[in-house]
Amino acid sequence: MTALDWPSLALLALALAAAGFLSGFLAGLLGVGGGAVVVISLYETFRIMGVDEAVRMHLATGTGLAIIAPTTLRSFAAHRAHGLVDLAFVKRMALPVIFGVVLGSLVAKQSGGDVLKWVWVVMGSFMAIRMFLGRDEWRLGPDIPKSRFVELYGVGIGTISTLMSIGGGAYVVMLMTLYGRGLKQAVATSSGFGPLIAVPGVLGFIWAGWGADALPPGSVGYVSLLGAALSIPTGLLAAPIGARLSHGLSKRRLELSFAVFMTVVVCRFLASLLL
């Protein structure tokens, strides 16, 4: 790692704090997006700090999970206070999602950073397209089916969200709205999936990176305690703000903004893979 002077360190600290605030705000507002902001911010921060490319993406992903863990917990608490969370659906999906998190941690341990980037390119593109279209009126049925394919979908949510360091909100909102649930209830319920992914995901990335070479000081496995410490407080501050706004504010413009942001992230990782 290269040495940084105090002004540079101060700018990095400010960037991480701002990323944490935006992460918490988006997690509360849309149920999606917080992890996306954090991962790209951490990746670029670790690049500036001279963190080895071999561990940079893993470290950004694991630290991102550590940052969104408390913000998703607070976001869930805020949405639950409004009475819109479908707790029965959260309980139904809990074990499949956690099993998916375990699978994602195993994949992360056995994979290089390029694999995590490709996951971002493919799934990030899907998320961006979904938000650009914004077709909430599409329906597959009047209510979420009892089929075990829904639980299998939960396993996929846990796996992909762990590898992307996101709370899984985009996939939960899409499923619930396609089966007749209102957008507000879908967003509120999706906040309950964030803790199910982030908390075991952090433990999984600590395990996956235990003893890895080239980790920066202050890291425990693939989790940077310094990055988490700088970002978590502002994220906790912002999560309830976003949750309050989500119950009285049109989201279309913000969805489009997030879709643009996701497109930029996808292009950034695609360029690092191909150039």
The DSSP line for 14-83 is HHHHHHHHHHHHHHHHHSS-HHHHHHHHHHHHHHHTT--HHHHHHHHHHHHHHHHHHHHHHHHHHHHHTT
Residue 112: φ, ψ to 5°: -85, 175
CB neighbours of residue 37 within 10 Å: 28
pTM: 0.84
Any idea where the domains of the chain sit in the sequence? 8-274
Q: The tokens 């999706």 sit on which residue?
A: 190
Task: Summarize pLDDT for 219-269 with one digit per residue, the tens.
Answer: 999 999 888 888 888 888 887 887 777 666 666 776 777 788 788 889 988
Task: Summarize pLDDT for 28-71 with one digit per residue, the tens.
Answer: 776 555 677 788 878 888 888 788 999 999 999 999 999 888 88
Task: Summarize pLDDT for 154-212 with one digit per residue, the tens.
Answer: 999 999 999 998 888 888 988 898 888 887 888 889 889 999 999 999 999 999 999 99
pLDDT of residue 152: 97
d(CA 102, CA 104): 5
pLDDT of residue 156: 95
d(CA 41, CA 22): 11
Task: Please choose, from the candidates 12, 30, 193, the residue with its C-alpha nearest in 3D space to the C-alpha of residue 100.
Answer: 193
What pLDDT band is residue 11 in, cutting at 50, 70 and 90?
A: confident
Q: What is the mean pLDDT of the chain?
A: 85
